[in-house]
Chain A
Amino acid sequence: MGYMDTQCAGPLDTPFVMGGETFRSRLLVGTGKYRDFAQTRDAIEASGAQIVTVAIRRTNIGQEAGQPNLLEVIDPRRYTILPNTAGCYSAMEAVRTLRLGRELLDGHDLVKLEVLGSKETLFPNMPETLKAAEILVRDGFRVMVYCSDDPVQARMLEEIGCVAIMPLASLIGSGMGILNPWNLRIIIDQARVPVIVDAGVGTASDAAIAMELGCDGVLMNTAIAAAGDPVRMALAMRQGVEAGRNAFLAGRMPRREYQASPSSPAEGLLG
């Protein structure tokens, strides 16, 4: 294969390697808040995502028997299922949840760790996140970790052995976009593992901005599920991530803040 990738008819990208696995899509999506399983399936299909997050919850005894199960709709043989610890407020709850997730997925050990510290903002509790990450890495998990956009703690998580650092761009489910690109840039510049913006993306341009900053990927749920037409937004997000990635790889033109530069020749104007 040459300069042009036959699949997307664009220049080749470097492979997206995380936790020893190579992925084609840099868009990771959640499965919450959809109208029904059919919409979940169609949106995920349109997003082109290969990594799909799920939550682990108690079965609704007496109500669910015979009802379809999410993993019958989102087939673990086709997608990399990423169990999360959404709703966990301590390291031990998160570790327990992911051990159950690993059992549920036949030993699959790529997981999304998040330990929350505030019910209003869903900001991470970083001391508990660091504690949980240590236990999980020691236990053989490959940990992708939701975290604050603090470069120092991001580095601590990398040193513990997390396979991806996933800072928030703004609050979970807020759709407020990339609020602190400068911190994200510092985290990206120093990291030797993939950096994935997790949380806060609201629309396709936000995803593109995250990728233009040099993020390795973007993880989102509400921006797709709460859109007017989730399946179309899933496609827009796919394109936004690809556009942002290509713009990053291409290298944008330098900004000329005080001087315009015409695109058309200045010579040969009609006298």
Chain B
Amino acid sequence: MSGVAIRLNGEPRALPGPWAIADLIDDLGFTGKRIAVEVNGQIVPRSHYGEIRLAADDRVEVVVAVGGG
């Protein structure tokens, strides 16, 4: 299986294969955490993390709530 090069939060990242979003989230240690995910500008509902597979050049954003006013 060949690697998949994506952009994660603006930075290049190489995945070992066509991971599901859930695999990436797990790898990042965010499983079960309050995050939101966008792929190529489209929000991915949490319930779809297991189904959607990442492809080359996908732009993935993972966001959290931080302190702000």
Interface, chain A (partner B; CB < 8 A): 30-34, 40, 53-59, 61, 64-66, 69-72, 76, 81, 83-84, 86, 96, 99-101, 103-105, 172-173, 219-222
Other-chain contact of B36, A53, A66, A100 (Cβ < 8 Å) = A100
Q: Is the CB of A53 within 8 A of B69?
A: yes
Residue B16 at the A interface, CB < 8 A?
no
Q: Is the CB of B29 within 8 A of A86?
A: no
8 A–B contact pairs at CB < 8 A? A54-B65, A56-B65, A57-B66, A58-B63, A59-B9, A61-B8, A104-B35, A104-B65
Which residue of B is nearest A34, CB measured?
Answer: B67
Count A-B contacts at CB 8 Å.
106
Which residue of A is nearest B8, CB measured?
Answer: A61
Q: Is the CB of B69 within 8 A of A59?
A: no
Residue B1 at the A interface, CB < 8 A?
no
Interface string of B21-41 (1 = CB under 8 A from A): 000000011100111111001
Interface, chain B (partner A; CB < 8 A): 8-11, 28-30, 33-38, 41, 43, 45-46, 61-69
Q: 8 additional contacts, CB 8 Å, given A57-B63, A72-B34?
A: A32-B67, A55-B65, A57-B66, A61-B8, A64-B29, A71-B65, A173-B69, A221-B68
Q: For the complex, what is the distance from the CA of A24 to the CA of B9, rounded to whole Å?
A: 39
Other-chain contact of A66, B29, B34, B69 (Cβ < 8 Å) = B29
Q: For the complex, what is the distance from the CA of A222 to the CA of B68, rounded to whole Å?
A: 10
When distances are taken between beta carbons in the complex, the residues of chain A under 8 Å from B61 are 58, 100
Which residue of B is nearest A146, CB measured?
Answer: B69
Distance (Å) between the CB of B52 and the closest chain A CB?
Answer: 14
**Which of A32, A33, A55 counts the most B-chain CB atoms under 10 A from its CB?**
A55
Q: Is the CB of A220 within 8 A of B69?
A: yes
A57-B63, A58-B9 as given contacts; A30 in contact with B69, CB under 8 Å:
yes
Other-chain contact of B10, A58, A220, A221 (Cβ < 8 Å) = A58
Other-chain contact of A81, B33, B62, B65, B66 (Cβ < 8 Å) = B65
Q: Is the CB of A59 within 8 A of B65?
A: no
When distances are taken between beta carbons in the complex, the residues of chain B under 8 Å from A100 are 36, 38, 43, 61, 63
Distance (Å) between the CB of B48 and the closest chain A CB?
Answer: 11
Distance (Å) between the CB of B68 and the closest chain A CB?
Answer: 3
Other-chain contact of B35, A59, A86, A99 (Cβ < 8 Å) = A59
Q: Is the CB of B45 within 8 A of A59?
A: no
Q: Is the CB of A54 within 8 A of B66?
A: yes
A65-B29, A66-B29, A100-B43 as given contacts; A54 in contact with B68, CB under 8 Å:
yes
Q: Which 7 pairs show the lowest CB-CB distances between chains A and B?
A: A55-B68, A65-B29, A30-B69, A221-B69, A54-B65, A103-B36, A104-B36
**Which of A81, A86, A100 counts the most B-chain CB atoms under 10 A from its CB?**
A100
Other-chain contact of B64, A34, A99, A104, A221 (Cβ < 8 Å) = A104
When distances are taken between beta carbons in the complex, the residues of chain A under 8 Å from B8 are 61
Which residue of B is nearest A97, CB measured?
Answer: B63
When distances are taken between beta carbons in the complex, the residues of chain B under 8 Å from A96 are 38, 41
Q: For the complex, what is the distance from the CA of A69 to the CA of B29, rounded to whole Å?
A: 12
